Structure 1
Amino acid sequence: MTDTTDKNSERFQALRAKDRQIQKELMQVSDKVRARHPFLVKHQNAVGMGIFLVSIAGMILNGVLWMEGIMPAWLVIVLSAFWTSLLHELEHDLIHYMYFRKQPVWHHLMMAGVYLARPLTQNPWIRRYLHLHHHKVSGTETDLEERGITNGEKWDWKRFLMVGDNMLAFYLRAGKYFVVPKKLLKQGKINKTDIKNLRIIGALSFNPVGYICYTIWHGFVLFHLANGIAWALGATIDWPQWLLAQEAWVTATVVILIAPNVLRTFCLHFISSNMHYFGDNTPGIIHEQCQVMNKWYLIPLQLFCFNFGSTHAIHHFVVRDPFYIRHLGEKESHEVLRRHGIRFNDMGTFKRANRLNERAA
Structure 2
Amino acid sequence: MTSAVTDAERVATIKAAIRAESERVRARWGFLRHQDAIGAAIMALSVAGMIASGWAYAAGAIPWWVCIPMSAIFASFIHELEHDLIHTLYFRKNPIAYHLMMALCWITRPSTVSPWVRRRLHLHHHKYSGTESDLEERAITNGERWGLRRLLMTGDHMLAVLLRQRMMHDTVKAFIKAQQPTSREEVQMLIKEQRRGFVPLSLLHYAIWYGFLGYHAVALGFAAAGTPLATSAFMNVIDTIVVVWLAPNVLRVFCLHFVSSNMHYYGDIDTNNIVQQCQVLNPWWLWPAQLFCFNFGATHAIHHFVVNQPFYVRQLTARAAHRVMRDNGVRFNDYGVFGRANRWGALEAATPKTATA
TM over 0.5: yes
- Residue 227 of structure 1 corresponds to 219
Which shows bigger deviation, 66-75 or 12-21?
A: 12-21
- Aligned pairs for 1:1-361 (under 5 A) are 11-40=3-32, 42-180=33-171, 198-231=190-223, 233-236=224-227, 244-360=232-348
Q: For the residues of structure 2 that align with 1:131 and 1:190, how far apart are their CA atoms?
A: 13
- CA distance in 2 between partners of 1:254 and 1:350 (Å): 31
Higher mean C-alpha displacement, 264-273 vs 28-37: 28-37
Deviations 1:84-113 (A, max 9, x none): 000000000000001111111111111111
The alpha-carbon distance between structure 1 residues 169 and 206, as it changes in their structure 2 partners (threshold 3 A), is same
Q: CA deviation at 1:203?
A: 2.6
Structure 2 residue identity aligned to 1:178:
H
Give the distance between the partners of 2:9 and 2:190, measured in 1 at CA. Answer: 32
Q: Report the CA distance shift for 1:251/1:314 in structure 2 as closer, same or farther (over 3 A).
A: same
Describe the SS at the equivalent of 1:120. coil
Q: CA deviation at 1:237?
A: 5.2
Work out whether residues 132 and 171 of structure 2, in 8 Å CA contact, stay in contact via their aligned partners in 1.
no
CA contact (8 A) 1:227 1:236 kept: no
Counterpart-to-counterpart distance in 1, 2:5 and 2:199 = 41
**Aligned residue identity for 1:100:** F
Of 85-94 and 20-29, deviating more is 20-29
Report how far residue 197 of structure 1 moved.
Answer: 6.4
SS at match of 1:329: helix
Please tell me whether the aligned partners of residues 139 and 168 of structure 2 are also in contact (alpha carbons under 8 angstroms). no
Identity of counterpart residues, as a percentage?
Answer: 48
Structure 2: which 5+ runs fail to align?
Answer: 350-357
| Unaligned ranges ≥5, structure 1 | 1-9
Cα separation, 2, equivalents of 1:215 and 1:154: 28
With over 3 angstroms needed to count, the CA separation of the structure-2 counterparts of 1:275 and 1:195, relative to structure 1, is farther
Match of 1:3 in 2: none
Root-mean-square deviation (Å): 2.2
Say if 1:180 and 1:189 are closer, same or farther in 2 by CA, change over 3 A. same
Is the CA contact (8 Å cut-off) linking 1:93 and 1:99 kept in structure 2?
yes
1:228-282 deviations in Å (ceiling 9; x for gaps): 3443x4432557x9xx342021011101000000000000010001100000010
CA distance in 2, matches of 1:132, 1:277: 17
Change (3 A) 1:102 1:337: same
> Structure 2: how far apart are the matches of 1:179 and 1:172?
14
Q: 1:209 Cα shift?
A: 1.8
Answer whether contact 2:131 2:266 (CA < 8 A) is retained. Answer: yes
Supply the AA of the counterpart residue of 1:165: D
Q: Does the C-alpha gap of structure 1 residues 181 and 134 become closer, same or farther in structure 2, counting only changes over 3 Å?
A: closer
2:14–2:321 Cα contact (<8 Å) kept: no
Aligned length: 344
Distance 1:70 1:191 in 2: 54
Asked whether the equivalents of residues 167 and 211 of structure 1 are also in contact (C-alpha less than 8 Å), the reply is no
- In structure 1, how many angstroms separate the alpha carbons of the residues matched to 2:119 and 2:51? 27
CA contact (8 A) 1:280 1:358 kept: no
Amino acid at match of 1:124: P
The structure-2 alpha-carbon separation of the partners of 1:198 and 1:80, relative to structure 1 and needing over 3 Å to count, comes to: same
